[in-house]
Amino acid sequence: MTDALKRLSEEGVAIWLDDLSRKRITSGNLAELIDQQHVVGVTTNPSIFQKAISGGDGYEQQLSDLAARKVTVEEAIRMITTADVRDAADILRPVYDSTQGQDGRVSIEVDPRLAHNTKATVAEAKQLAWLVDRPNTLIKIPATKAGLPAITETIGRGISVNVTLIFSLERYREVMDAYLAGLEKAKAAGIDLSGIHSVASFFVSRVDTEIDKRLDALGTPEAKAARGKAGLANARLAYEAYEEVFSSDRWAALDKAQANKQRPLWASTGVKDKAYKDTLYVDDLVAPNTVNTMPEATLAAAEDHGKITGNTIAGMYEQSRAELDAVEKLGISYDDVVQLLEDEGVEKFEASWNDLLKSTEAELARLAPSEG
């Protein structure tokens, strides 16, 4: 057993768990991961909640109470998910306090059906922040076109945000711009910027999955040589953009007002292709002031045989550009790939949310008290 996770933390990478369930909370497993595996945050998404709640373990009593009150299925899901996030936030509160609010964070996502509705996304973000009522919550907002002004508005109200579903470098720059605009808005409103935090969730493995599929269809030696490189190259160039934006004059003015940098968060870090090492998106994305949110299998793999050799992003920008250019020269459109992935990401979360609505509705009907 290596102490790769400790080394990863020492390199400035915050380790967050990409999973949450009531069983994980009540069994003491989450507390154990914090204590022993250097976990300092938790991310959730509609798919994670769908899996946890549909699995049913630990939710029976609350579902029974909600059925007795005859609440709507949407209200039931919000009551269940915010309860889990609140409890997880309480478990992580000592981390939050010891890191001055940077870590110890738990993320909860706005209803994915609102991804293309700015006003409704802001309203939902406010509602979720109020419902969870913990300072160490991050409200997840997808980086769709409609999501960008919602990010600015939500940050401008002093609510901390995890921006999710970022695939393209251009969109990532727009996300950072939306964050800075939100901070400027909050500053103008007299809100203390030191209490506002944000991460930008840049997805990694899904980029390789889609581009590799297209490379395999080409089947040439050049295409084969380009496999498994685009995801890392894309993420590394995102970090270059982060360094640029957060050393700008615009940032300097906010920095003076005690604002916090929006950290890049590596998401979708579970390796999908068994031909690649299972710690690829951990070992090869090490840089200061980043977050890596891992599914439990990836966390266990990194702990067992991760090879943390220092910063694996610095000095890689020219090579990364060349690797993305090589894919483009083979006729695979970067713009087409990243737009498809954003669209699919929203659709997948919507589908999970709809599945969760259906399964919760069935449970509420089953547990409903008989009349009389």
Task: Choose among 334, 250, 349, 240: nearest CA to 287.
Answer: 240
How far apart CA 305 and CA 326 sit, in angstroms, is 31
Strand partners, 106: 42, 137
The helix or strand, by DSSP H or E, that contains position 304, with its residue range, turns out to be helix 296-305
Residue 76, Cβ neighbours under 10 Å: how many? Answer: 23
Q: Is 140 a catalytic residue?
A: yes
C-alpha to C-alpha distances, 229 to 62, 290, 298, nearest whole angstrom: 46, 20, 19
| 339 residue type, one letter | Q
How far apart CA 134 and CA 365 sit, in angstroms, is 31
| 265 residue type, one letter | L
Which tokens in the block code for residue 218? 């080409």
In residues, how long is the chain? 372
Q: Which of 140, 187, 229, 261 is catalytic?
A: 140
Are the beta carbons of 101 and 36 closer than 8 angstroms?
no
| 190 residue type, one letter | G
Q: What are the residue numbers of the active site? A: 140
